[in-house]
């Protein structure tokens, strides 16, 4: 059985909310703009549950900055999400190891 990869943000966000009840993990590796996908999922999750807490983990600080900027520009409350990057987590772990 092969999974159909959705071609647009609406399909991906609909699947996220309906299949995971806005809870779960989604590993996204396509070339589409991840910032718009994060925005769509955050908007839908918050509409469904205004107290929702979302964790966003991305590959690098530049991607994290782009996601955070997009969410801020669209008035997504920072109390609803935490955005982390893999390189930021590696830096924190390295600092903790050498303390």
What are the pLDDT tens digits along the chain (99 aa)?
Answer: 344 444 555 666 666 666 666 555 555 655 668 888 889 889 988 998 999 888 888 888 999 999 999 999 999 999 999 998 888 877 777 777 777
Report the alpha-carbon distance of residue 84 to residue 70 in Å, rounded.
15
The answer to pTM > 0.75 is no
DSSP 67-96: HHHHHHHTT--GGGEEEEEHHHHHHHHHHH
Report the SS3 class of residue 24: coil
């Amino acid at each position: 059985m092969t999974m159909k990869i959705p071609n647009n943000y609406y399909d991906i966000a609909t699947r996220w909310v309906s299949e995971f009840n806005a809870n779960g993990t989604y590993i996204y590796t396509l070339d589409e703009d991840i910032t718009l996908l994060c925005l769509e999922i955050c908007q839908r999750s918050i509409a469904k549950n205004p107290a929702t807490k979302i964790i966003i983990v991305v590959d690098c600080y530049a991607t994290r900055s782009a996601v955070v900027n997009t969410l801020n520009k669209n008035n997504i409350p920072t109390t609803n999400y935490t955005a982390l990057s893999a390189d930021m987590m590696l830096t924190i772990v390295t600092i903790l190891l050498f303390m």
